[in-house]
Structure 1
Amino acid sequence: MNFRKIRTGVLSALLGVLLTVTGTALYVGASGPGGQHDAWLDSWSAAQMSAADARAPNWSADGFAGHTIRQTVRPTLAGESVRITLSNLFGDRPLAITAATVANTAAGAAVRSGTVRPISFGGAPGAVIPRGAELTSDSIDYPVNARQSLTVTLYLSRPTGPATFHYLANTTTYRAIGDHSADIDGWAFTESSRSWYYLSGVEVSGTPNRDGVVAFGDSLTDGAGAWMDMDNRYPDVLADRLAVAGRPRAVLNTGIGGNRTVPDPTSAGQSAATRFRRDVLDKDGIGTVILVSGINDIGASELLEPWARPNPAVTADQLIAEYRLLIRMAHTDGLRIVGGTLPPYRGTPYFSERGEQVRDAVNSWIRGSGEFDAVVDFERVLADPSDPDVLAAPFDSGDHLHPDPAGYSAMADAAARVLIGKADQ
């Protein structure tokens, strides 16, 4: 799918609009917030999906009409100015944003008094985002603290149709009827959801660099098994570990639960290579990507659920060919790519001995091929020492595939050691 990412900014009216074409994406941008020494750096991100990808009922299918939605995110990089990106990649009509605000998060749907600031788009309080496009707001002088929650509120006065969204937010989103974009308290927000809608990125101003990390993959990255509103997915904990180690940097989570590596899934987001440019290469300030993807390709052939179709039996050679494609794409853009081995999954509904042979072959290739710039051996970190084909009980969320918070913490520790050069070789 071709898409456009439109950058607005008050400066564009004064300095003109710079158009560049990168791959299939069109960018309309403005200068940085504070002159030539500042840059825009991605601080938080969510991979976008079609409403048809919803695995359970939520607000994405019907969309919104006369609603305010209040969403909480956790930026991983600090900055003195902020801007947001909203996505209509998979909408069926232009998306009208009537009003938007940013604020510091309080309890529930409330925000902190004195922190609510309006967000503008090309100097206007709202905007219309074309189908298949993403729109980045004007910058506002608003200090953002690393790893502290930020609330973005959108008022959508006109019917939106099916919403572009991210299913597994593991964070509560709130909804109210009418315009409550500037409310301090949360009393009007009487409905809640576990997904993010339209919000695809938060950027902050900073010194130009390529220190950031994208964690890319499926539900093991997205955070299935993590706790609601606790920010304890492995990329969240990785950002904490790097900061404690004196190596703070952005860590972006672009995982999608159920996502696959081999092309042509019909649900759970576009395949890895299809979305890799949008969700990795086009992020600002990124120098490394950690790839953990493939377990759904291996297991889907054992499932009968509609979301898994088409579900041919995928081979190790097919997965390795896709890994090689992602490696080439990363290296062409100057990124370092770290391969993560696939954890054990015996005991899940889609386990099979055939699939286990594929997983073993893939993991052997990841470890031994030398084609990744580095390897994080998540399998060995998470496996039961007495039975390496099983997820260790202290790390098992209960489904024998997804780690619990202790398991995600162990994954983050292993990834941090690789990123700061202290992994056991």
Structure 2
Amino acid sequence: MSSTARTVAVWGAAPMPFGRSFRDQTLRMVVRPSASGSRARLRLSHLYGTGELTVGALSVAVEGARPRPVTVGGSPKAMLGPGREVLTDVLPVEVEGGRDLTVSLYLPDATGPTTHHRDAFATTHLSPPRSGDLTLAPGLDGFTEPGLRSWYVLAGLAVAPAGAEGTLVAFGDSITDGAHSTVDANRRWPDLLRPDGLAVVNAGIGGNRLLSDWTDPAGVRRFGRDVLGQPGVRTTVVLLGVNDLLGGREPEGTAVTAEELLEGYRQLARAARAARIRVVGCTLPPTRELDRARDAVRREVNGRLRAGGVFDAVADVDTALRDPRDTGRLHPAYDSGDGLHPNDAGMAALARSVAPHVRRCPGAGPAAPRGGRNNHVRDHVES
């Protein structure tokens, strides 16, 4: 992203491929900024597109107000080539932390598969085909298609100047993404963090693995894009590796070892420290889906993380979420029902386990200077 003084990311959604197609339809999406600021800009993403994408019109509305048009390069429309992202011009509204922002996009032409974030745990409203541009419609009367549960094309929101000194990026899989949390309630565990002086961006992707590509790049490959590429990032919290244990290494599905997972974490930590970003690791929570051998790997990894030397700090998510009577399972009060994903109460317990390690982020280096390396989108993490 382009940068001005103290540009800070205050919301984000990690881009993914294989989003649905649209034609002559308007999308209306709701996001909740984690910090306040002015001179806000949206990031639109066509990273996984194969043809040119036309965004025919855009608008934003602060909660309770009418939509207002947004331009890109002075134009009411945006043209995104394959693999490209663009920033809008400065939004005509002030962004307020904790106050919803509604973003509407009109897609006039057949889009083909869109870049999206599959699991938003928020409702996206959609108009029917051939309904035209409804970006300035004051209500939802024209949005008659069934509600969606993904964000499309929209990938980020940054402000400058900001009410926060920098950004904390939560990096992980479906647990970080918010799986099984209440839709439209913003109860994902990163939503519940209140680190002093830091905005929070959620870079979770459901199904993501630390070491292997699946439907999305492995954590060691997307860390540069989804963490280091965020403007103003100061701290990252890593909760990733359960899917490696569950699914093994792609494409063979061979079981991963504790040392392989730990070396993946070391790669992330080295990349973060090179960018002067503090990295907080999380122990891996229990799940009844792991057999005895793979759960033994999880326990070994957790013991070595607790011993230190990998991350700058460790949040003991395992201890916070496990059943003390059966430490290979989630506590019944925190289990959403599938034995893997925390419910809303579990999300709150997870956030409480992370919070002491991110309150003031001692030891974090200053944010990179204007136009510096934190704002360069990297393709992978070098080991």
Q: TM-score, normalised by structure 2?
A: 0.89
Identity %: 39
Are 1:89 and 2:31 matched, yes or no? no
Higher RCO (CA 8 Å, separation ≥ 6 residues): 2
Q: In structure 2, what is the Cα distance between the partners aligned to 1:215 and 1:98?
A: 32
Aligned residues: 358
Structure 2 match to 1:311: 253
Measured after TM superposition, the shift of residue 207 of structure 1 is 5.0
Q: In structure 2, what is the Cα distance between the partners aligned to 1:152 and 1:412?
A: 28
Matching residue within 267, 288, 291 for 1:352: 291
Are 1:381 and 2:320 matched, yes or no? yes
Give, as a single letter, the amino acid of the residue that structure 2 aligns with 1:299.
Answer: L
Measured after TM superposition, the shift of residue 80 of structure 1 is 2.3
Measured after TM superposition, the shift of residue 339 of structure 1 is 0.5
Map residues 89-128 of structure 1 onto 2, 5 A cutoff. 89-105=47-63, 112-113=64-65, 115-128=66-79
Structure 2 match to 1:321: 263
Long gaps (5+) in structure 2 = 362-383
Map residues 276-287 of structure 1 onto 2, 5 A cutoff. 276-287=223-234
Q: How big is each residue's C-alpha offset from its partner over 1:344-365, in whole Å with a ceiling of 9 and x where there is no partner?
A: 102x3xx211110110111112
Are 1:338 and 2:280 matched, yes or no? yes
Structure 2 match to 1:156: 107
Are 1:45 and 2:9 matched, yes or no? no
Q: In structure 2, what is the Cα distance between the partners aligned to 1:182 and 1:208?
A: 28
Measured after TM superposition, the shift of residue 369 of structure 1 is 3.2
Measured after TM superposition, the shift of residue 420 of structure 1 is 2.3
Structure 1 match to 2:369: none
**1:209–1:285: 8 Å Cα contact kept in structure 2?**
no
Q: In structure 1, what is the Cα distance between the partners aligned to 2:276 and 2:163?
A: 15
Matching residue within 389, 396, 401 for 2:335: 396
Map residues 11-410 of structure 1 onto 2, 5 A cutoff. 29=2, 32=4, 38-51=5-18, 60-61=19-20, 63-105=21-63, 112-113=64-65, 115-176=66-127, 177-191=131-145, 192-206=147-161, 211-239=166-194, 242=195, 247-263=196-212, 265-267=213-215, 269-301=216-248, 310-346=252-288, 348=289, 351-410=290-349
Measured after TM superposition, the shift of residue 266 of structure 1 is 2.9
Give, as a single letter, the amino acid of the residue that structure 2 aligns with 1:92.
Answer: T
Q: In structure 2, what is the Cα distance between the partners aligned to 1:266 and 1:397?
A: 24
SS of aligned partner of 1:283: coil
**1:121–1:137: 8 Å Cα contact kept in structure 2?**
yes
SS of aligned partner of 2:39: strand
Give, as a single letter, the amino acid of the residue that structure 1 aligns with 2:333.
Answer: P
Q: How big is each residue's C-alpha offset from its partner over 1:202-252, in whole Å with a ceiling of 9 and x where there is no partner?
A: 11122597532100010110011101000000000113xx4xxxx252111
SS of aligned partner of 1:123: coil
Structure 1 residues 140-149 or 162-171, which shifts more? 140-149
Q: In structure 2, what is the Cα distance between the partners aligned to 1:122 and 1:237?
A: 35
Give, as a single letter, the amino acid of the residue that structure 2 aligns with 1:287.
Answer: R
Measured after TM superposition, the shift of residue 337 of structure 1 is 0.3
Give, as a single letter, the amino acid of the residue that structure 1 aligns with 2:203.
Answer: T
**1:103–1:117: 8 Å Cα contact kept in structure 2?**
yes
Q: In structure 1, what is the Cα distance between the partners aligned to 2:52 and 2:11?
A: 25
Structure 1 residues 151-160 or 132-141, which shifts more? 132-141
**2:70–2:92: 8 Å Cα contact kept in structure 1?**
no
**1:266–1:310: 8 Å Cα contact kept in structure 2?**
no
Give, as a single letter, the amino acid of the residue that structure 2 aligns with 1:411.
Answer: L
Q: TM-score, normalised by structure 1?
A: 0.81
Q: How big is each residue's C-alpha offset from its partner over 1:46-66, in whole Å with a ceiling of 9 and x where there is no partner?
A: 001110xxxxxxxx24x1110
Give, as a single letter, the amino acid of the residue that structure 2 aligns with 1:318.
Answer: E
SS of aligned partner of 1:403: coil
SS of aligned partner of 1:164: strand
CA RMSD of aligned residues (A): 1.9
**1:273–1:325: 8 Å Cα contact kept in structure 2?**
yes
Measured after TM superposition, the shift of residue 158 of structure 1 is 1.0
